[in-house]
Amino acid sequence: MIPPIKSSDSLQDVRYEIRGQLAQRAHDMERQGQEIISLNIGNPGLFGFRTPETMRMAMIENLQSSEAYSHQKGIFPAREAVVMQQQERGVMDVTAEEVFIGNGVSELIDLTLRALLNAGDEVLIPSPDYPLWTASVTLNRGKPLHYPCPPENGFQPDLECLRDLITDKTRAIVVINPNNPTGAVYSRAALEGIVALAEEHGLVIFSDEIYDGMTYDDAEFVPLAPLVKNTLCGTFSGLSKVYRACGFRVGWVSFNGANEVAEEYLHGLDLLASLRLCSNVPGQWGVQTALGGYQSLKQLICPGGRLYESRQAMLDGVAASPYLHLVVPGGSMYAFIGVDTDKLPDFDDHAFALELLESQHVLVAPGSSFNVDYRNYFRVTILPEAKVIEDVFQRINTVLESYNQ
């Protein structure tokens, strides 16, 4: 008899519940002919958002130049466009040699951690977090430690707790700003505090800024790289969110700060980039047009724009519910919504998400999927149109009312 084929032990502590069992159940229901409103993933194309026409044309017009492998770091026009964006932000110590293009930010998170970590090295990650960061640290033999960004502090980082977590095994601090899942936009003071700690202890900073242009009302996005002088800073971004081109699979990371002491590390990252040959070449031709062209996102995030109005519908839905509360998201395409456990003391995020899916055909992500130690939150994306958001919150309250009764 053939013995069972088991998965690697390295997967034992890896979680990515955004596409986990709940998502699989939703897929099964769709195969049975049921319509599901999927709010678990920020996938603009799924909700009718189009990639800007100029980016599609840039890719089409350069298809003849896309049939061979590119340089392992990416095509020069794409990398130079990232350099120019960073220079516009006041980052003058970066060249195209410090820019790596990847198959989305996801691949680059894995590569940058793999090039850095030895077994047992610690990485400080915000809680709530985007769980790919935690999973990637674990897969690369590191130990993720989560510094709290508590709701009572507007999901801003707790710098004292962050300081207390630093040990002689700490190698890096991860920043996700604007934040996924909470939508928090970090204050300049918080970012300056993180940089001061990193520079004091010689820690690499990984700043995930994939939602850098997606802010609302008076929220101000502050890029982290210009604040860094005396340690290494890697800034991540890409085409997926701001430019609504998830399927292009194009992301980048640029390094600045103390590059002179990071030559061995950057060489190791270049080696890993070479081993996967290169990232998707056709999509790279959209980078220069995206960063240098008209920023159509601005029409979507201002009053009257689709994202703004969907966000407002979400805010109205929370305000109308006797069971829900919310720290208003200043950025990104998500809301991290809390449930009042004084009124629903037995609330459990996973049980609620399953009931909402089975009875109301709405898929959300349980809050504990984002590495928090409380179970009364859930995340939704605000990508659907406002009328769909309104309907969703009616369905959510139907389930919550049933709990109350």
Taking the C-alpha atoms of residue 43 and residue 214, their distance in angstroms, rounded to an integer, is 14
- Express each pLDDT in 103-160 by its tens digit: 999 999 999 999 999 999 999 999 999 999 999 999 999 999 999 999 999 999 999 9
Closest of 189, 179, 192 to residue 150, by C-alpha: 179
Helix or strand or coil: residue 175?
Answer: strand
Q: What angle do CA 354, 357, 360 make, to 5 degrees?
A: 130
> What pLDDT, on a 0 to 100 scale, did the predictor assign at position 130?
94
What's the average model confidence in pLDDT over 199-212? 97
User: What is the distance between the alpha carbons of residues 241 and 179, in angstroms, rounded to a whole number?
Assistant: 13
- For residue range 225-276, what is the model confidence (pLDDT) as tens digits? 999 999 999 999 999 999 999 999 999 999 999 988 999 999 999 999 999 9
Phi, psi dihedral angles at 62 (to 5 degrees): -110, 20
pLDDT at 220: 95
Determine the pLDDT at residue 59. 92
List phi, psi (to 5°) of 133: -65, -50
Report residue 169's pLDDT band, with 50, 70 and 90 as the boundaries.
very high
Which of 233, 169, 230, 164 shows the shortest CA–CA distance to 199? 230
Instruction: Tell me if 9-50+299-404 shares its fold with 53-292.
Output: no
Domain boundaries defined on the chain: 9-50+299-404, 53-292
In the chain, what percentage of residues exceed pLDDT 90?
Answer: 90
Under CATH, which number does the domain 9-50+299-404 receive? 3.90.1150.10
Q: In whole angstroms, give the CA distance from residue 272 to residue 252.
A: 15
Closest CA relative to residue 223, chosen from 263, 258, 254:
254
104-116 and 131-139 helices, crossing angle to 10°: 40
Q: Is residue 15's pLDDT more than 80?
A: no
Q: Which two tokens stand for residue 75?
A: 């095509």
Report pLDDT digits (tens) over 61-99: 999 999 999 999 999 999 999 999 999 999 999 999 999
Beta bridge pairs of residue 125? 146
Q: What is the tens place of the pLDDT at every residue in 266-310?
A: 999 999 999 999 999 999 999 999 999 889 999 999 999 999 999
The whole-number pLDDT of residue 119 equals 95
Helices (H), 214-326: 263-275, 281-292, 297-301, 306-320
pLDDT level of residue 1 (50, 70, 90 thresholds): confident
Residue 18 has pLDDT above 80, yes or no: no
What is the arithmetic mean of pLDDT over 191-214? 97
CATH 3.40.50.300 fits 53-292, yes or no: no
Per-residue pLDDT at 16: 73
Cis upstream peptide for 128 (omega within 30°): yes
Average of per-residue pLDDT values in the chain: 94
